[in-house]
Chains A and B, each alone.
Chain A
Amino acid sequence: MRIEQDVTRGAAIEISVDGIALAAFDGETIATAMLSQGMAMFRRDARGRPRGLFCNMGTCGECMVTLTAENRRVRACVTDAQNGMDIATDG
């Protein structure tokens, strides 16, 4: 749930995660954009169990996603969403 009261966000932007368009705001991290649309799973582990992000501060590496244009794997919780970003999870 985005907090609305007393908060003005950056410009509305759109990113795409696994082919799904997500509305987000300038200043939000990729992690926030994903969670706010209910995308809590980032990958499946070696035993096929669903996995989500954990620390939201860059230390655990559980939130790795791929920026497809740059073919670069980044931590979603410390990477800001940019308009037009195309992102793939390992889920």
Chain B
Amino acid sequence: MSKTDVLIIGGGLIGCATALHLARAGASVRLVEAGDINAGASGQNAGSLHFQMERRFLENGAALADQAARIIALNRLAIDEWRGLEVDLGVDLHVSQKGGLMVAETPEQVALLEAKSRREISGGLATQLLDGDAARALCPALGPDVLAASYLADEGHADPRALTPAFAHAAAEAGAVISTRQHVLSITRRSPGGFDVAAKKGDEMETLQADQIFVAAGAWTPAVCALANLHIPLFPVALLMNATERTGPILPQLIQHVGRRLSMKQAYAGNVIIGGGWPSRLAQRPDGGFDLNARASIIPLSRSGNLRAAIDIVPQIGALNLIRSWTGVTTISADQLPIAGAVSRVPGFYVAAGGSAFTLGPTFARLIARVMGGERVEALDVLSPDRFNHLNSFMG
């Protein structure tokens, strides 16, 4: 039987990074991962560091302006976080913050860019609006259809394959105990406080006792929370990614699109990584529901649409060979905002998942660790799981 201050469920970016911060703060930490470290969304994502407002937030109208402003505040924290990460972890994460361009191809899209950057500037993000030629001067690979772009110098990309293992390694050095291929199967509340958790590795069951539980199980978060009799409204989504063969340097910046689904960057090895939120099809269980453990399948129309968008913006991509398309599963909450913080109806129970948690994950982790240490962290208020408390009012 293991007894620790904290039990973290999930060995993705959020779980491993939080393990590091808690261990550094002196807590005894156990982390349990069902597969291998970084086997979930954290190892399969696009690696974009995007701090400009996401298109999906612009679609929600002025009512959400306040929310957006708070997200911008989080983004500003994330920018600083990323600037210090390689030094902090002592690992080459292939972080490149050479700027990001969000492009527009139509006058309507240009107007959207303008509205967006006004909001960002008032929130303290130094977005610059560029016309097509100015954008091409920065990034000559951009094609003639680019009418305008908003530029943010802090954006860029990093290596998703390196980040989470680096956090895991540092967490272990700081004293966290990490076990892989161990599934959490049940969560029992103890009175007066704390939890008993049953976890299975191979044929062996282990009971893990902890004062606090932190669920960082990505798309599996609702299932893990259900073990504690909690509804958390997160929904799995499967996304498509594509990689070309390696080529010489053509894209220094992160490229995104304000009106179409597109994110594009050249990874350190020279491959161009193309994504942007095109759907894949989740596998289904025979008894209904989605099977998150089976591979999601590619939707040909997503693939052709994504690649079309890439070629329209950077025409020379067309001549490169595609060497890989893959699908990854992440999760989105009922109101699109990430969920991160304490579940106040179950003292000692914390959760974080959803959203663009490659960009924001290291920041979430730092803040969550402070919350778990007893601090009040205002920046996280907007993400509190308690906003969905009503869902649990009949759960007993």
Contacts and interface: CB of A to CB of B under 8 A. Distances in A.
Do A and B share a direct contact in the complex (Cβ within 8 angstroms)? yes
Interface of A: 64, 71-73
Nearest to B318: A71
A6 B245 CA distance: 42
B2 interface: no
Given A72-B319, A73-B320, 6 more contacts: A64-B245, A64-B321, A71-B319, A73-B245, A73-B319, A73-B321
Report, nearest first, the 4 A-B pairs whose CB atoms are least far apart: A71-B319, A73-B321, A72-B319, A73-B245
8 contacts: A64-B245, A64-B321, A71-B319, A72-B319, A73-B245, A73-B319, A73-B320, A73-B321
Interface in B315-337: 319-321
Contacts of B321: 64, 73
Nearest to A75: B321
Nearest to A66: B319
A64 B320 CA distance: 11
Nearest to B248: A90
A72 B320 CA distance: 8
A71 B245 CA distance: 14
Interface in B269-296: none
B250 to A, nearest CB: 14
A73 B318 CA distance: 11
Contacts of B320: 73
A30 to B, nearest CB: 16
Give the interface size class of chain B.
Answer: under 10
Nearest to A70: B319
A73 B320 CA distance: 7
Contacts of B245: 64, 73
Interface string B298-323: 00000000000000000000011100
A48 to B, nearest CB: 15
A87 B195 CA distance: 67
A37 B155 CA distance: 49
B221 to A, nearest CB: 39
Contacts of A64: 245, 321
Contacts of A72: 319
Centre residue among B245, B320, B321 by max chain A CB count within 10 A: B321
Nearest to B316: A71
A91 to B, nearest CB: 14
B186 to A, nearest CB: 47
B206 to A, nearest CB: 43
A71 B321 CA distance: 11
A72 B321 CA distance: 8
Interface string B215-250: 000000000000000000000000000000100000
A33 to B, nearest CB: 21
Contacts of A71: 319
Nearest to A74: B321
A73 B319 CA distance: 7
A30 B307 CA distance: 29
A68 to B, nearest CB: 10
Nearest to A46: B269
A71 to B, nearest CB: 4
Nearest to B246: A46
A64 B319 CA distance: 13
B272 to A, nearest CB: 13
A16 to B, nearest CB: 19
A43 to B, nearest CB: 11
A45 B303 CA distance: 30
Nearest to B320: A73
Contacts of A73: 245, 319-321
Contacts of B319: 71-73
Nearest to B319: A71
A18 to B, nearest CB: 17
B336 to A, nearest CB: 40
Nearest to B321: A73
B108 to A, nearest CB: 33
A3 to B, nearest CB: 33
B163 to A, nearest CB: 22
Nearest to B270: A46
A71 B320 CA distance: 9
A51 B320 CA distance: 20
A75 B259 CA distance: 37
B245 to A, nearest CB: 7
